[in-house]
Structures are given as structure tokens and as C-alpha cells.
Amino acid sequence: MEIAVGALSGMVDALPAKLGDLLQQEYTLLSGARGDVGFLQSELGTMNAALLRCESLESPDVQTRAWVAQVRDLAYDIEDWIDLFVHRVDGGAAASPGAAAATSSSSSSSGGFLSWVRCCVNKVTTLPARHVIAIELQELKNRVIELSEQRKRYRFDPPARHAGGRSGVAAVDPRLVALYADTSSLVGLDAPVKKVSEMVVDDGTTGLKVVSISGMPGAGKTTLATAVLRRLKEENKFHCSAFVSVGQKPDIVGKTLKGILSQIGNGYAGGEDIGRLIGMLRDELKDKRYLIVIDDLWGRTEWSTLKCCFRDDNLGSRIMVTTRNDELAKECSSNSDESVYKTGLLSDADSKDLFSNKAFGKGKDCPNHLKDLYDIIVERCGGLPLAISSAAGALAHRFSKDEWERYESNLLPSSHSDELNLKQILNLSYNDLPSHLKSCMLYLSIFPNKYEIDVERLVRRWIAEGFIADARHASKEETARSYLTDLISRNLIQALHLRHNGTPSCYTLHPVIHDFIVVKSMEENFVTVLDAKKEALSTNNGTVRRLSLQNSVKQDLAGARNDMIKHARSVTVFGHANGVPRLNDMSVLRVLDLEGCNGPLCLDGLCKLILLRYLNLRGTDVSELPAQIGELRCLETLDVRSTKVKELPASIVSLEKLMHLLAGNAKLPGEISKMNGLLTLSCANVWKNTGSVLPELADLANLRELELFCDASEISGDNKTRISFSSDGFKRLKQLSIQGSLPSVAFVNSSLRKVEVLELKYEKGISDGSNGVSGIEHLPSLKHVLIEFSQKDAGATATIASVRNAAEMVHPNHPDVSVNVDGKAI
């Protein structure tokens, strides 16, 4: 069993910097406390090095795994202590190291005296809190010392290495099965083999060509490449051929280069010099038409070395590369679009054929008493060939319904060699992730199987959890989206519902990948999943750090005591609102996501969650927010769309860190123009009869995205027939979306100068046949226009024609125009 360190090492690595920031700030610590903080900072750096050493162990013992689990709990508790520190000392007023300096520089001498008096009073009034902080700090220090002593006693050294440089018994490459598979047992490969074979030989190119095969782990890349190689060898298309596997821990000299030489030449009797090997290989390939398969390529460095070996004598030689990384596949290929084959999933029919052949024998059907379970298990495999073969192998020649039920109820059961093979393949992809992507990947286990995860929801949650580091030339949102792009490229997540610019609006996980990361999350105590339809999926009896309640029913929370969940950092509920745990004692909660919960919702204790950064109540029955919600000083996202909330409390204006306010139909508070931290705003009826608040919104200095819901029946005055945007305000707005029953929308000269994306969604037609949009040529930065109509009438036709004409003939940027009518693109 490999040890579960993964995301933990990244978290521990970040703690010394957070402690360093704490020391730099002007907080009054009791005598000795500052030294204790410095000690923690130093010792955690050493401890992280030990964690990375533990991660390299192939078969850690019980003591090592127990030590890692204790370090995990300690790291969480230290981070919670740091985040709570400021709020307990001064209520979060000193949010940054420069806060005190800024105050001092702007004060007069009398103001400075008053500040000194307030500081003295604050020291006295917060003395009890600082005593508690000092006691907690001493307890954390004692735990660090104890764990450090354990590390010295156990030493956690890798096992002794045997001759040849490998420890213990060499692991068997799980891809060997694909290399020697009986071609008659392969299912669903005829069309892919034909297609890739044509890509390799049938384009008439005499120069050296590289064809890449990419896809998710277990999708059959190696099997496909092997089948193509066999076919082309049988057709005598090449003078010589070779197949070598690189792997995650490549041995370019001893395994890859010598392997190619042994297959295309007369063997190898040279030394270990890589330059000599490359020269020998090039000599062997001279004046030959060759086909080399480079299987399981992981890195650009290895490819840079390997491609030096392959000479181009214009004889039509070919290289096939298999990789899990789409970007790497493009970089290797001769033509990034035409020379990459992306493996797909098997159809339902092929999936059942493959399963039946291995579980029951070729040509035999599933017994009647197992058919329900057979359908469930095949569906759970999601068309992934390796998963189907693994499940079928584990159940082969077993006809007891009890055995099948036990198998179906477990996530990635690992008692059978086929299942161990599947887990090993998936582990390779997980272990290749950097620590920050491991955290982001494991976090997806919060969501149920086959759940469509909204991009904005996920990005904001990642940021609230502290997974996204500051970058010099990119916002946290941009960094988070780059993480998603990386996970897609690695074929670990799947994109859904592409937008106008080709970016997805949602993501999902393949069922097998989902099962895998749920198990990983349990191993790392990263997420605790409780499913009302099953027993608790988490086998961890320790402290719950992130809680996901799935299929929650109309009853009190079961399976997690209050003392177990009081340290939870996030709570997500899918199902009935009665499953929501008591909020009063959850002092370190950062994320509360109750989107779509049905039934009455109790928010008692909400305003005591001083670390809360993300609050999602979308689609719930909540009708009122607490008046004291302004006390949630860390809040970054508030979503009350599709709720019964009619008016937002006035105290929301004091939330200086609020960046995303998704208000739905709730009335906005007065003085909203003071909320300069807002980047995203979604609201309704800004042109209501009581007066337009649009001028106030225009003064929001940092607003980037604005979504307006409009009901023409509630619009007053001149806006009744036409709503317009002047040249003043919205200085940084980049995306504007207006939807509902709209009157005509007009833009005047030089209005909305930074807007790049304009979305207009008409829920009703324009029956009088008039043009619904005018003046898009006055939006100087416009790049894309999206127009949607629920029905096509004369007004829709006129509007579409007008916008397309303005985009093509008048606007200097010639922005792209996308049109959907009744859900169909036209």
C-alpha cells in the first residue's frame, strides 16, 4: 500500500510562510509566544521534508502511516489557529501588516495619542483572549515536539536496495497485459485500429511523422498502439519496428534506448553513455523505414531526448507515442490537430460484450439472477476498458449473488489482482500531479457521482479553501482556471457545455475516477462523505475536516457527532436541508454550500462563522438573511439566487472582502456603490418603479461582470421602451449579461469601454418586429456577442440581422456573434 501524503505535503509546505506573515504583523503576543511561533515555523519545514520522504516509501509500515495521520491533524489545527488568531485579538481589524502603518501616517498628533490609548485599552480587553491563544500555541508546540521525536525514533528510511538499484520485488508493469492480449478477445477496437493505421501510413508523407494517441488512464491507449503495430507488421509496411514503454520513472539509457536497439539490431554490448547510445541507434536506423512505438510517455524532457534518436531519411518512417496528457500529445505530433488520436469510451453494447466475455466466457450471457447487478456494475465502469476488464476479472466464474452485491457496494475493491491493476494505473496519474493539483483533484470528491460541477462555483470554492496561490501576473480566478485546464489535459476531468469562447461551463468526473478520488480522500482524511442511501463512505473515525452529505433525507444528521464535525472547514449538503449540521460550534468553517437543498433551512449561528468565505444558499427555501451578516468579515462569495429572500440586509455593505454578490431577485441595499471589492454582481429589476439603481452600480470601481435580470412590466419611465447605458461609469466592466423580458437595449457612443462579452437573453419575443439591440458598434473592446431568443418572431429576426450587420460591417473589431433560438444555434 502506498502512503497517502499527496495534498498534505503541499499544505505543510505553506504553513511556515503563514507563520512568517504572522510574525511580521504588529500583533501583541504574550512573553515567549513569538519564540514559539518561530519554533513552529522552523520545525514544520523539517517536518515537510520528512513527509516527502514518507511519500517515496513503497510499503510504509503501520507506524509511518500513523505518524503521517498525526502530522495531517496537526497541520490542520495550526492553520486554523493562525486564521483565528487575528479575529480573536482585534476582531480582524488588522487584516494586513501595513494596516497599523497606514493608520499612523494619516493621523495627526492628537489622533496618534488617541490611537495609542485605544491600543492600550485593546491590550487590556483582549488579555484573556491572548492567554487562551498562548495556551493553544503551547499545546501545538508540544505536539510538534512529540511528532519530531517520533520521526527521529522511527527514522522512516526507505527499505534497503538490492543489487540493480531496486527495492524489494520489482513491480510488474500493468500495461504488460495489453502487450500480449489475445486479439480475438479485444472489443470495440476495429474502427480505432483502422483509423490510427491510416493516420500512420496513408497520408503519402515520406518524411518522418509522429502520431500520438492520448486519453484517460485505462482507456486502452497501449492496447490500441499494440494492435496497430501488429497490423502494420503483418502488412510488412516497415523494415523494422520496436515497442518500448517509458513510464513515470523513466530509465532512458537502461530500458528505453537499449530496448529499441535490442529489437531493431543485433543486440547491445556497449556502455552506459547516452550520447554513444543515440549515435548507435541512429546508425542502426540509417536507410531503413522504421516504426517505433514510445508507450506511456509522461514528460517533455524524455521526449526531447528520444526524438534525437530518430533520423529522417525520407523513407516514410513513423513514430507512435501514447500519453495521458493531451498537451504533450500535441507537442510530440507532427501536426497538433491531424496527428493526434483521442481514445474514447466503449459503447454500452461493447462494454457488455467485453464484460461478458471475461466474466462468463466468450459468447455466454449473464445469468438471469445477476442481470440487475450486471447492469449496475457495467454502468459504473462508464465504458472504460480497463475498469470493465478489472470488474469482470474480479467476478469471473463467480455466480453467487451475495458476492456480486458485496462487490457492487464497495468503492474500488482491491482484493483481486485485476482491481489492484486498475488502482495502480490510476495511482500513476494521481502521483504525477503536483501537490496543489492533488488538493484540487481530491476536492472534487465532495460532489456526487456524475454531478455537473459549475465552473464558477468550483473556482470560488477552491479560492475560499486557500488552494489557489497568489501569482504575479494572474488573478486567483485565472490561476484556478489554469488548474482546471491542466486537469483536463491530463484526462482526469471532463469538460461539459462549451461556451462561445470554447471554455466549459461545467465539469464532471468519469465514475471510475470519481470512485478513485473518494477512496483517496478517505485515506487522507481530506473529505468525509456521508450518503443516506449507504453507510458512511468514510472509514475514518477521526476529526472531520470537510463534510459532504449526499442524498440527505428529512432527518437529523446521522453518522457524524458534533464533536467530530466542529473542526470542519467546509460543509456541503445535497438533499434535504434538515441534514445541515448545527452551525453554532463550527468556528473554523470556510465554506457552507447548501445549493438546491429542499425544506426549511435553519441558519442559527451563521453570523458566528468568522472565517466563512463562501456562502451558497442558491435554490433553497431561505426567505431572510440575518441582519448581522455584515459580521462575516472574511466573506468573499454570497449566492442567494432562486431563493425567497426579498431584501439584502444593510450590513452587507460593510463586507469589504465580498467579491461575488449573486443577489437574484433580492433588493440591493442602499449605498451599494461603496462595495468597491465587488468583482461580480448578479441582480434583478434595477430599473424598478421605485427608481433605477443603475447609476449606483456604475460607480462600483472594480466590477468586472454584471448580470441583470429584467422584467419589463416593472420598468418605469423612459426605460419602459428602451434601456440605455451611458458613457459614464462601469470603468472596468468586461462582461455584461441581460436576460428576461427585455425592452430595446441601446448603447451610446464610448459607453462600457472595457466590455468584451455581451450576452442578451430574451425570455419573450419582440412581437412588434422592432430591433431589440442598437449601438453595439459603440462598445470599443467588444469581442463576442451572444443573443438568445425563446422563440423566433419578427423582432428576433430583425435583432439578429441588425447585430450581425453591425458586427460584420460597422464594428472595427468584427466581434463574433452567436445566436440561439429555442435552444438551437442558428
**Nearest Cα to Cα of residue 607 among 639, 624, 578, 584:** 584
Alpha carbon dihedral 180, 184, 188, 193, in 10-degree steps, equals 60
Q: Are strands 504-508 and 494-498 parallel, antiparallel or unpaired?
A: antiparallel
Based on its alpha-carbon atoms, the radius of gyration of the chain, rounded to whole angstroms, reads 31
**Nearest Cα to Cα of residue 583 among 562, 564, 606, 600:** 606
Does residue 209 fall inside a structural domain? yes
Alpha-carbon distance of 782 to 751, in angstroms, equals 11
Q: What does the pLDDT read at residue 173?
A: 58
The boundaries of the domain holding residue 504 are 435-512
Q: Which three cell numbers stand for residue 335?
A: 501536426
Strands, E, within 513-646: which ranges?
528-531, 546-552, 570-575, 591-593, 614-616, 637-639
673: left (phi over 0), alpha (psi -120 to 50) or beta: alpha
Q: What does the pLDDT read at residue 15?
A: 78
Question: Are 18 and 69 found together in one domain?
Answer: yes
**Nearest Cα to Cα of residue 277 among 294, 249, 257:** 257
Question: Are 373 and 464 found together in one domain?
Answer: no
**CA distances, 231 to each of 184, 195, 235 (Å):** 13, 12, 6
CATH number of the domain where residue 471 is located:
1.10.10.10
Question: Are 224 and 334 found together in one domain?
Answer: yes
Question: Are 609 and 662 found together in one domain?
Answer: yes
Q: Which three cell numbers stand for residue 723?
A: 434601456
The domain boundary, picked from 512, 542, 576, lies at 512
Does residue 109 fall inside a structural domain? no
Q: What does the pLDDT read at residue 17?
A: 77
For 18-33, the pLDDT digits (tens) are 777 776 665 555 556 7
On whether the CB atoms of residues 320 and 303 are closer than 8 A, the answer is: no
Bridge partners of residue 340, in order along the sequence: 212
Question: Are 483 and 368 found together in one domain?
Answer: no
Does residue 163 fall inside a structural domain? no
Does residue 162 fall inside a structural domain? no
Alpha-carbon distance of 412 to 62, in angstroms, equals 22
Alpha-carbon distance of 33 to 399, in angstroms, equals 65
CATH number of the domain where residue 321 is located:
3.40.50.300
Strand, coil or helix: what is 536? coil
**Nearest Cα to Cα of residue 184 among 333, 362, 401, 347:** 362
Alpha-carbon distance of 225 to 712, in angstroms, equals 60
The domain boundary, picked from 643, 669, 695, lies at 669
Does residue 711 fall inside a structural domain? yes
Read off the DSSP letter of residue 338.
Answer: T
Does residue 568 fall inside a structural domain? yes
What is the residue type of 288?
K
Question: Are 603 and 640 found together in one domain?
Answer: yes
**CA distances, 236 to each of 231, 241, 242, 818 (Å):** 9, 10, 14, 50
Question: Are 504 and 534 found together in one domain?
Answer: no
Question: Are 654 and 729 found together in one domain?
Answer: no
Does residue 679 fall inside a structural domain? no
Question: Are 69 and 209 found together in one domain?
Answer: no
Question: Are 745 and 806 found together in one domain?
Answer: yes
Question: Are 329 and 193 found together in one domain?
Answer: yes
Does residue 417 fall inside a structural domain? no
Q: What does the pLDDT read at residue 165?
A: 38
Q: Which three cell numbers stand for residue 567?
A: 473542526
For 521-547, the pLDDT digits (tens) are 988 889 999 887 765 455 556 789 999
Read off the DSSP letter of residue 413.
Answer: -
Per this entry, what is the length of the chain? Answer: 826
Question: Which residues in the chain land under pLDDT 70?
Answer: 1-11, 23-32, 55-59, 89-130, 154-185, 203, 266-271, 336, 411-419, 534-541, 552-562, 688-691, 712-721, 765, 767-769
Range list of H helices, 524-568 = 562-565
The domain boundary, picked from 638, 669, 700, lies at 669
Strand, coil or helix: what is 627? helix
- Domain total of the chain: 6
Q: What does the pLDDT read at residue 104?
A: 40
Alpha-carbon distance of 663 to 681, in angstroms, equals 7
Alpha-carbon distance of 467 to 460, in angstroms, equals 10
Strands, E, within 145-251: which ranges?
209-214, 240-245
Question: Are 312 and 378 found together in one domain?
Answer: no
